[in-house]
Amino acid sequence: MAQQRRWKHCELRGGDWLDAGTEPAVTFYGHTLQLLTDPDKVFARFGNGTRGAVKQAVKNGVIVEISRDRSAVRDFYALQVQTRKKHGVPPQPASFFDHVHEKMIEGGFGFTSLAKVEGRTVAGAVFLATAKRAVYKFAASDSEYAKTRGSNLVLWEAIRHLIVNGCEQLHFGRTSPDNDGLRNFKLSWGAEEEMIPYTRFETKQLNWVPVARHDGEGISNLISRALPSAVNRFAGEILYPHLD
């Protein structure tokens, strides 16, 4: 089918079905949190630092809003532009998140969680979900308000929302093997860890080949950080989805 459709290659994620002799081209960590019916029991499984950060956010007066409104997605996108610039990567175009809202969130397959301090949005995340499973898909924050611990409360209130609505699993997405900070952050929420192999099949050569990926720092990251936000957004519109 791939040859008939003239695909250059197929990238496959997960390897339980692969032949024993097929080696993965690259491997990422995956983390899944099992959502018990009692939020307090889920909270008790978090690391001490994570529980403390959530409690600190409440003391700091952080308020979290769970929403399916388009306005919430746009508030999140403003943070996303800041966060991607800090990481040295152009943001996805605004139209991408408009489509996420229209095709997923508006239809009941997700929501936005926003943390606010005195009316200002300081952190947020976008979750995609079915009845039983959810994905912590996008996260962003205002670095000036990092000490409020808004990002931690955003995730905790989203977890509580998922539990109340009968969700059973929350997946935290992939993590590069060399990103110990992000890996430890996800583990601190009581998530179970697994390895996710990536393989690529080239349709012309009819064989499995390495996947060219690099998650480290590069000159493009430095340039992106230096660009004005408007220019960075324009670059994202041109380059996305080839950035991730």
**Lowest-pLDDT range, 93-97, 122-126, 135-139, 224-228?**
224-228
| pLDDT recorded at residue 225 | 42
| pLDDT recorded at residue 199 | 76
Is 60 exceeded by the pLDDT of residue 200?
yes
Q: CA torsion sign, 97 to 103 to 106 to 108?
A: negative
Answer whether 85's CB lies under 8 Å from 232's CB. Answer: yes
Residues paired with 141 in a beta bridge = 123
Is 80 exceeded by the pLDDT of residue 210?
no
The secondary structure element, H or E, covering residue 122 is strand 120-129
40-129+138-153, superfamily in CATH?
Gcn5-related N-acetyltransferase (GNAT) (3.40.630.30)
Query: What would the pLDDT profile of 154-198 be if each residue is shown by its tens digit?
Result: 999 999 999 999 999 999 999 999 999 999 999 999 999 998 887
Where does CATH 3.40.630.30 sit in the chain? 40-129+138-153
Instruction: Read off the pTM.
Output: 0.80
Q: How many residues does the chain have?
A: 244
